Homo-oligomer: A and B are copies of this chain.
Amino acid sequence: MSKDSLPGLTLCNNAALRRAARKLGKFYDDVVEPSGLKATQQGLLYQIHIGDEPAMGAIAASLIMDLSALGHTLKPLIRDGYVETFADPEDRRVKRVRLTPQGLAKLEAAMKLWQIAQQRFEDVVGRDKAEKLRAALDDIAALDFDLPQATP
């Protein structure tokens, strides 16, 4: 592999995606920051809000996130009193999650800021292009990459 014939790093779909995520994440973070939440936290609170006291597993599945990662991410939000959990009475393995009143207030404040970031993004890239981008990203999220392994 001679250094002179190397493809640019931009060739890697994964690297390009991560780089864009760092950039855009920082932008949304900066805009949402006055609420005291990170953009990821705002997104998580929102996901909880739109769910009907969702189980942790359901949230993790929606976000395509590891269940234990969700547990970790939830901790500061519980610590700060924005979220609370309770065992599902039907199945005590299941832990359900809901916003506290403070959590809802915090979310509403953060959503106002989020709208600014979202609007700004769409102004800059164009509403149509943004929509196409989200569709492409959702496609990726829905993909099935199964490498042909032995099917037992």
Contacts and interface: CB of A to CB of B under 8 A. Distances in A.
Nearest to A7: B50
A75 interface: no
Contact of A22 (B1, B8, B16, B65): B65
B15 A43 contact: yes
Interface stretch (A79-87, A88-96, A114-122): A114-122
A108 B137 CA distance: 29
26 contacts: A1-B108, A10-B138, A11-B118, A12-B43, A13-B121, A14-B24, A14-B25, A14-B27, A14-B28, A14-B39, A15-B43, A18-B25, A19-B64, A19-B137, A19-B141, A20-B137, A21-B21, A23-B143, A120-B147, A121-B145, A124-B144, A124-B145, A129-B136, A132-B136, A133-B140, A136-B136
Interface of A: 1, 3, 6, 8-25, 27-28, 31, 39-40, 43, 46-47, 49-50, 62-65, 108, 111, 114, 116-118, 120-122, 124-125, 129-130, 132-134, 136-141, 143-145, 147
